[in-house]
Amino acid sequence: MALTGITRPAHAQIRVLDMDKAVHHYGTILGLIETGRDAEGRVYFKAWDERDLFCLVLRQADTAGIDHFAFRVLDVATLDQFEIDLEKFGVPVQRIPAGELLGTGERVRFTAPTGHVFDLFAEKEHLVDPERLLNPSPWTNEAERGIAPVRMDHALLYGPDLEGNLELFTKVLGFRLSEAAYLEDGTTMAVMFLSCSNKCHDIAFGRFPEPGKLHHISYRIESWEKVLRAGDIMGMNHVPIDIGPTRHGITRGCTIYAWDPSGNRFETFSGSYDPYPDWQPIRWTIDDLGRGLDYPQQKLHETFLTVVT
Amino acid sequence: MAVTQRHRISIVGTDIEFPCPETMSVLHGMAQLGRKGIPLGCRSGGCGVCKIEVVSGEYERAKMSRAHVSVEDEAEDRVLACCIRPKSALEIRVIGQINRAFPEQTKTKDDGAAIPPA
């Protein structure tokens, strides 16, 4: 299928309470590659198989949580069109100048009805070893250092107005619903999973009384066996695990939820499946949300509902 | 080998008490024994669900999110159980305010917390 419009989740900027601990967590334990630091002291990371300069930005702060989540769009013309479309839809936008983040062009910023700040951009430097572009090996030493996900994959964000986000993301931004869980009335969404590609989820939202909350940022692992290896590495390093290793019923992802040293949840996951645009979304009922979250344990973990940053 | 000093943690108004090594947070000490009483969250100072008031005793503290623990809170021993290590026996009270996703469908009487009825 052709990838147009928004092509992928690109990065998250998150707040951390202690930069040294955070850099150790994301750089050494998760095994992302540090690619830069800016004048504000923010630290940038990429996963080993990504081309973009970064997928994660850490900012030292006195609270945890997410500053913004960004998507890469196809080109500058597409970015300009999204700005027009957002304004037409009644969503205020702001232009963030090129260079505000290292190696990144202008960003179009808006706040979604759930209270989350999103950026769209068309240009970000690639950082690729030329050896990776000519007769490359299937993996590198970096693919085995730490947990070593191949990419930042998606995020689950919590906030109150899921209906508003569904409208905005499907009518303006070109996403489609792949799966959703509904409350008892069968129509009110509890959690929804949206795709801008043929991944099962590029962004997901859960209904929560407070706006702008981070549930987790997810990193893609190549196999279930490597998810188990990630669990071992978390154990070796005393990383607090929330759920797993197990499998979600929703999206079928094989997963571990765990927390970084500031309490921001992250996921290491493999599996899932590849829905196409003509596919009907999958529905989950609130009564079976336990299996939706944790299929083998059949349990709606308390922390899934209450613990966010 | 040095013996790790342990201190008794008791939750006032309940019969819950457990020993906690000096090297561990109060929350970790509780959780690793499989005990309940303080709500378990991120265990890293960010989410705020394990907020307690230390009624008596000495402790060391690590960095906590200002979204959940203000300067005044810290001065008055309202802290996160995941971010304090006991230096003596501690008496604590659970005071965390917990927001829930879609509460009307998922709220149960026993959510593992020792919060007395308001």
- Does any domain span residue B104? no
- Classify residue A84 by burial, with Cβ atoms within 10 Å: 0-12, 13-18, 19+: exposed
Quote the pLDDT of residue A181.
97
- On whether both A169 and A221 belong to a single domain, the answer is yes
Sheet of A33-37: strand order equals A33-37, A43-46, A56-60, A6-16, A65-73, A117-121, A107-111, A94-96
* Tens digit of each residue's pLDDT (9 = 90 or more) over B11-38: 999 999 999 999 999 999 999 999 999 9
Q: CA A268 to CA A266: how far, in whole Å?
A: 7
- On whether both A131 and A164 belong to a single domain, the answer is no
| Residues of A (43-102) whose Cβ lies below 8 Å from B | 62-65
- Does any domain span residue B10? yes
Percent of chain A with pLDDT over 70: 100
Q: Please name the member of A183, A206, A259 whose beta carbon is closest to the beta carbon of B105.
A: A183
CB pair distance less than 8 Å for B46 and A183: no
Using the Cβ of A300 and the Cβ atoms of chain B, whether some distance falls under 8 Å is answered with yes
- A154 catalytically annotated: yes
Sheet of B51-56: strand order equals B17-21, B6-11, B90-94, B51-56, B78-80
- On whether both A151 and A293 belong to a single domain, the answer is yes
Displacement of CA A149 from its chain's centroid (Å): 13
Percent of chain B with pLDDT over 70: 86
pLDDT band at B116 (very low <50, low <70, confident <90, very high): very low
* Cβ A154 vs Cβ A267: under 8 Å: no
Q: CA of A286 to nearest chain B CA: how many angstroms apart?
A: 8
Number of domains in chain B: 1
- Does any domain span residue B111? no
Range of the domain at B50: 6-97
Q: Please name the member of B41, B42, B102 whose beta carbon is closest to the beta carbon of A207.
A: B102
- On whether both A222 and A168 belong to a single domain, the answer is yes
Q: CA of A188 to nearest chain B CA: how many angstroms apart?
A: 10
- Classify residue B3 by burial, with Cβ atoms within 10 Å: 0-12, 13-18, 19+: exposed
User: Which two tokens mark A225?
Assistant: 């066996």
- Does any domain span residue B114? no
Range of the domain at A284: 145-306
Quote the pLDDT of residue A158.
98
Quote the pLDDT of residue B103.
78
- On whether both A78 and A218 belong to a single domain, the answer is no
Among the options A34, A267, A273, A302, which is catalytic? A267
A83, A111, A143 - which closes a domain: A143
Residues of A in contact with B99 (CB under 8 A): 208-210, 306
* Tens digit of each residue's pLDDT (9 = 90 or more) over B38-84: 999 999 999 999 999 999 999 999 999 999 999 999 999 999 999 99
* Residue A32 DSSP code: P
- On whether both A41 and A114 belong to a single domain, the answer is yes
| Residues of A (109-148) whose Cβ lies below 8 Å from B | none
pLDDT band at B117 (very low <50, low <70, confident <90, very high): very low
- On whether both A126 and A181 belong to a single domain, the answer is no
- Could you tell me the CA-to-CA distances from B17 to A45, A181, B1, B56 in Å, in that order? 43, 39, 27, 14
Residues of A in contact with B66 (CB under 8 A): 62-63
Among the options A11, A116, A154, A215, which is catalytic? A154
10-residue mean pLDDT series, chain A (309 residues): 90 98 98 98 98 98 98 98 98 98 98 98 97 96 97 98 98 98 95 96 97 98 97 97 97 98 98 95 96 96 95
Q: CA A230 to CA A228: how far, in whole Å?
A: 5
- Does any domain span residue B117? no
Using the Cβ of A216 and the Cβ atoms of chain B, whether some distance falls under 8 Å is answered with no
- Classify residue B24 by burial, with Cβ atoms within 10 Å: 0-12, 13-18, 19+: middle
- A267 catalytically annotated: yes
- A216 catalytically annotated: yes
- On whether both A87 and A181 belong to a single domain, the answer is no
A143, A162, A195 - which closes a domain: A143
Residues comprising chain A, all counted: 309
CATH of the domain at B32: 3.10.20.30
- Does any domain span residue B107? no
* Cβ A53 vs Cβ A34: under 8 Å: no
* Cβ A271 vs Cβ A249: under 8 Å: no
pLDDT band at B90 (very low <50, low <70, confident <90, very high): very high
- On whether both A125 and A243 belong to a single domain, the answer is no
Quote the pLDDT of residue A186.
94
- Does any domain span residue A1? no
* Tens digit of each residue's pLDDT (9 = 90 or more) over A200-213: 999 999 999 999 99
Pairing of strands B84-86, A6-16: unpaired
Quote the pLDDT of residue A2.
78
pLDDT band at B118 (very low <50, low <70, confident <90, very high): very low
- On whether both A172 and A135 belong to a single domain, the answer is no
CATH of the domain at A287: 3.10.180.10
Using the Cβ of A259 and the Cβ atoms of chain B, whether some distance falls under 8 Å is answered with yes
CB pair distance less than 8 Å for B101 and A183: no
- Does any domain span residue B1? no
Q: CA A188 to CA A285: how far, in whole Å?
A: 10
Quote the pLDDT of residue B106.
63
- On whether both A156 and A285 belong to a single domain, the answer is yes
A143, A165, A194 - which closes a domain: A143
- On whether both A31 and A84 belong to a single domain, the answer is yes
